[in-house]
Amino acid sequence: MMNYPLTLAQILEHAHRIHGDKQVTTLLPDGTLHRYNYIALYERVKRLANAITQFGIQRGDRVATYASNTYQHLELYYAIPCIGAVLHPLNVRLSPLQLAQIVGEAEDKLIFVDSGFTAQFKAFQHKIACQQVIYFDPTAADADVPYERLLSEATPVASWDIRDENWAMGLCYTSGTQGEPRGVLYTHRSMFLHTLAANQADVFGLTEADVVLPLVPMFHAMAWGLPYATMFAGADMVLPGAKPPCIANLIAETGVTVAAGVPTVWAKAYPELRKRRKDIGGLRRLIVGGEAMPLPLIEAYEKELGVEICHAWGMTEMSPTGTFSKLRGAHRSLSDAEKWRIKAKQGRPIPGVELRLAAETSNGFTELPWDGKTIGELQVRSPWTANNYYKVKPTPEHFTTDKWLRTGDMATIDADGYMQIVDRAKALIRSGGESISSIALETVLLKHPYVHEAAVVGIPDEKWGERPFAVVVLTEQTTENISDILRQQLASEFPKFWIPDKFVFVDEIPKTSVGKSDKRALLAQLASQNLLDKSSTVCKNQIVEPAHKK
Ligand code: AMP
C-alpha cells in the first residue's frame, strides 16, 4: 500500500476541491454576518501560509493565536500547521501571569491577536516573551502590518511541504483547573486520525448537509477537533465570534443543524431556544462535553425541543474525544426515562480509543470489572492520546509504565461499555472510608425544579475525614424549607451518609476559563465568607439562607 502521509493539508485540499462552495459564516462584533466559501478560505490560507514564513517561522516553530471563533482563526488553524509550524491557541481567559508562563514555555515566535482582544492583549503584552504580533484590527496603534494587509500583499504558497505525518501541528494547554496548565503537542497524524474517528456515524456523525456551530472556544482542546471534522465532512460552519448575544438567534438565522459546547452554555441557552422553538427546527443534535450534562437538561432538550443530546467525554490530552454517548439499537424499546439515564452517562469509547478501569496496588495496577458499579481510575490509550506533556518527562502520576494515560477521572463502565464519570479522582469525597460522588449528588439536586445550578464539594471533617457540602443556585421559585426538601430528595436515592451536612445558597457558581464549574474558586469564595470554618463543617446540618432571599 502507498505510504500516504496523514496531514491536515489533505483535509484542506479535500474541502477546497470537493466542497468548495460550502460556507463559513462568522458573527462579527457589530452583529452582522461575514460569509465566504471554502474556495475563498483556501485562497486566503495559501497567502497566509507564505506571509507567516516572512516572519522567519520555520518547521516546528510555535505560532500563537489570541482569538475567538472567527474565520481568521480558522484560516490560522490551517495555514500554521500546513507550513509545518505549530498552531498554539492561547486561552484568552487565563491570567496575564499564566499566559506569560505559557508563552515563555512554548517559546511562541509570533502571535495573532483578534480584533475583540486588542486592548486586553496590550494590557499584558509587556509581560510576555514574544514581541512579534499581528493584529486582526487594522486600527491597533502598532499594527504595522495588520492581518488583512499581510494577506493582500502575500503571494500564495505553491504547494504544501509536510514531509512527515509525525510533525507537530498544534499545541494546547490544559485549562489549569487541576493544577498548573500543561502543554499537549498534537501531530498531523494524531489530528487526522481523530478527525476520521470523530466523523463516524456513531460519533459526531457530521454530513455534508450539516451546518455546524462550534460554541466551544477554539482555544479549548482544538475546539474539540470541529474545525477539521466539519471541513472534512464538507459541512457548512458557523463561527460565533467571542460571545454571541443570543445563541438562539444565531442558530435560527444560519440554519445550524449540529452545535457543540459545555453544559453551562446549553443551560443558559435553553430558555432562548425554547422561545424560538419554531425557528430552530433544523437543529438536530447537540454535542455536549467538558463537564457532566445534567440529566434534567438532557430531558428538557430532547422532550421539549426535540434536539438529540450526545454527551461526550474527553480531555485536552486526547485531542480531545474519548467517549460518545449514543443509544444502541437494543435500547429502542426502552422508555424515554431509561434512554435519558443512559444518555447521561459519558458514553462508549469511540473506535480507536481503549479504556480500562484500574485500581492501584503495591505492584502496579489491577484491572477492575465492567459491571456498571465498580469505581476505578479511568485509564486510556489511542493514536490521538498524549504520551507525555510538552517539555516534561512522563511521570508515574500521569502515565503508567505500560503506557496508558491516567486521566485523573474516577468512573464506572457497564457491560455494554458505557462509561460514567463519578468524579475527578481528587474531587471524590472520602467519608468514613467510603466514596461519595459529587456528580451523582449534583445530578439529583438538579432534578428539583427549584434548583438552577448545584455544586457539591468535600470539606475536611475531624470525625469522617471529609463531608459533602452542597452549594445551590435556586431558581426564582423557592420555599422556606428548601434545604429540607433537597435533603429529602437526596435521601430517596442515596444512603444517609451521602447527604450533605450543609446547604449554602448563592447567586452564582464560579466558572473556569472554559466554562466549567470551578470548585477550587468556589471553595476559596466560601472560605473567604467564613462559610467553611471548622465549627460549621462538623455535621451540624447548618442552613444558610439564600443570599438573594434575604
Ligand atoms: P479538559 O482537558 O479541560 O477538556 O478537561 C478534561 C476533564 O474534563 C476530564 O478529565 C473530565 O474530568 C472532565 N470532563 C470532560 N468531559 C466530561 C463529561 N462529559 N462529563 C464529565 N466530566 C467531563
- Who has greater pLDDT, 443 or 288? 288
Residue 46, phi then psi, degrees to nearest 5 = -65, -40
Instruction: Give the other-Cβ count within 10 Å of 298's Cβ.
Output: 25
Residue corresponding to grid cell 473506535: 351
User: pLDDT by residue (tens digit) across 269-306?
Assistant: 999 999 999 999 999 999 999 989 989 999 999 999 99
CATH class (in words) of the domain with range 1-235: alpha beta
491 CA from centroid of ligand 1 (Å):
28
For residue 280, give the 3-state DSSP assignment: coil
Q: Is the pLDDT of residue 456 over 70?
A: yes
- Cα atoms in the Cβ-side hemisphere of radius 13 Å centred on 514: 26
Q: pLDDT digits over 47-99, tens only?
A: 999 999 999 999 999 999 999 999 999 999 999 999 999 999 999 988 888 89
The DSSP 8-state label assigned to residue 363 in this structure reads: T
Cα-to-centroid distance, 290 and ligand 1 (Å):
4
User: Distance from CA of residue 336 to its chain's centroid?
Assistant: 27
Q: Which amino acid is at 252?
A: A
Res 137 pLDDT > 70: yes
Ligand 1: residue of 313, 389, 418 to mutate (most ligand atoms within 8 A of CB) is 313
The per-residue pLDDT for 88 is 98
Other Cβ atoms less than 10 A from the Cβ of 132: the count is 12
Residue pair 290/438 in contact (Cβ under 8 Å)? The answer is: no
For a ligand 1 pocket test, name from 171, 418, 421, 520 the mutation site with the most ligand atoms within 8 angstroms of its C-beta: 421
536 to each of 189, 265, 385, 465, how far by Cα in Å? Answer: 53, 33, 43, 15
Single-letter amino acid, residue 191? M
pLDDT at 550 over 60: no
> What's the pLDDT at 462?
80
Q: Are 24 and 237 in contact (CB under 8 A)?
A: yes
Chain mean position to CA 511: 13
The CATH number corresponding to 352-424 among 1.10.3720.10, 2.30.36.70, 3.50.50.60, 2.30.38.10 equals 2.30.38.10
pLDDT tens per residue across span 1-16: 999 999 999 999 999 9
Question: Phi/psi of residue 42, each to 5°?
Answer: -60, -45
Question: 350, 198 in Cβ contact below 8 A?
Answer: yes
Ligand 1 atom closest to Cα of 312?
19
Q: Is the pLDDT of residue 310 over 90?
A: yes
| Tens of pLDDT, residues 513-529 | 888 888 888 988 888 88
- The distance between the two most distant Cα atoms of the chain, rounded to a whole number of Å, is 72
Candidates 56, 149, 147, 65; CA nearest to 103 is 65
Q: Which atom of ligand 1 is nearest to the CA of 289?
A: 19
What is the model's pLDDT at position 371?
98
φ, ψ (nearest 5 deg) of residue 495? -65, 160
pLDDT at 547: 39
Predicted local distance difference test score (pLDDT) of residue 212: 98
Amino acid at 456: V
Alpha-carbon span 233 to 422, nearest angstrom: 34
Give the atom of ligand 1 at the shortest distance from the alpha carbon of 407: 10
Instruction: Say what the pLDDT of residue 274 is.
Output: 96
Non-local CB neighbours of 283 within 8 Å, separated by 6+ positions:
251, 256, 257, 258, 259, 273, 305, 307
> What pLDDT, on the 0 to 100 scale, is given for residue 179?
64
Assign a CATH topology to domain 429-528: GMP Synthetase; Chain A, domain 3 (3.30.300)
Residue scoring higher pLDDT (350 or 501): 350
Q: How far is CA 521 from CA 117, 178, 441, in A?
A: 25, 12, 20
In this prediction, residue 536 carries a pLDDT of 45
Handedness of CA 369, 375, 381, 382 (dihedral sign): positive
CB 263 within 8 A of CB 293: yes
Residue 533 pLDDT: 58
**Whole-number Cα distances in Å, 47 to 23, 84, 145, 148, 157:** 19, 15, 14, 11, 6
pLDDT score of 177: 59
363: Cβ contacts below 8 Å, ≥ 6 apart: none
Compute the average pLDDT of residues 25-32: 95
Q: What is the mean pLDDT of residues 27-49?
A: 97
Answering whether pTM is above 0.85, one says yes
The answer to whether 432 and 495 are in contact (CB under 8 A) is no
Q: Which atom of ligand 1 is nearest to the CA of 292?
A: 20
Residues with beta carbon inside 6 Å of ligand 1? 174-175, 221, 289-292, 311-316, 320, 346, 407-409, 421, 424, 514
d(C-alpha 31, C-alpha 38), whole Å: 22
Provide the residue ranges of all domains of the chain, joining segments of one domain with +.
Answer: 1-235, 352-424, 429-528
Position in ligand 1 atom list of the atom nearest CA 221? 4
Q: Cβ distance 522 to 455 under 8 Å?
A: yes
Q: How far is CA 381 from the centre of its chain?
A: 19
CA-closest candidate to residue 171, choices 378, 388, 16, 4: 388
SS3 label, residue 458: strand
Average pLDDT over residues 440-451: 90
- Burial of 28 from C-beta contacts in 10 A (0-12 / 13-18 / 19+): middle
Work out the angle between the directed axes of helices 295-305 and 263-275 (0-180°, nearest 10).
30
**What is the model's pLDDT at position 178?**
58
Most ligand 1 atoms within 8 A of CB, residue of 317, 348, 409, 437 to mutate: 409
- pLDDT tens for each residue of 169-205: 999 998 765 567 899 999 999 999 999 999 999 999 9
| Residue 449 or residue 84, greater confidence | 84
DSSP per position, 39-102: HHHHHHHHHHHHHHHTTT--TT-EEEEE--BSHHHHHHHHHHHHTT-EEEE--TTS-HHHHHHH
Q: Say which residue, 5 or 423, is predicted with more confidence.
A: 5
Residues of the chain with pLDDT > 70, as a percent, come to 95
Minimum CA distance residue for ligand 1 atom 3: 175
The whole-chain average pLDDT of the chain stands at 92
C-alpha closest to that of 239 among 269, 258, 214: 214
CA–CA dist 528, 537 (Å, integer):
15
pLDDT bracket for residue 243 (50, 70, 90): confident
What is the per-residue burial (b if ≥16 Cβ within 10 Å, else e) of 138-158?
Answer: eebeebebbbeebbeebeebe
Grouping H, G, I as helix, E, B as strand and the rest as coil, residue 519 is: helix
C-alpha grid cell, residue 133: 504580533
Tell me what pLDDT residue 543 has. 38
Beta bridge partners of 33: 27
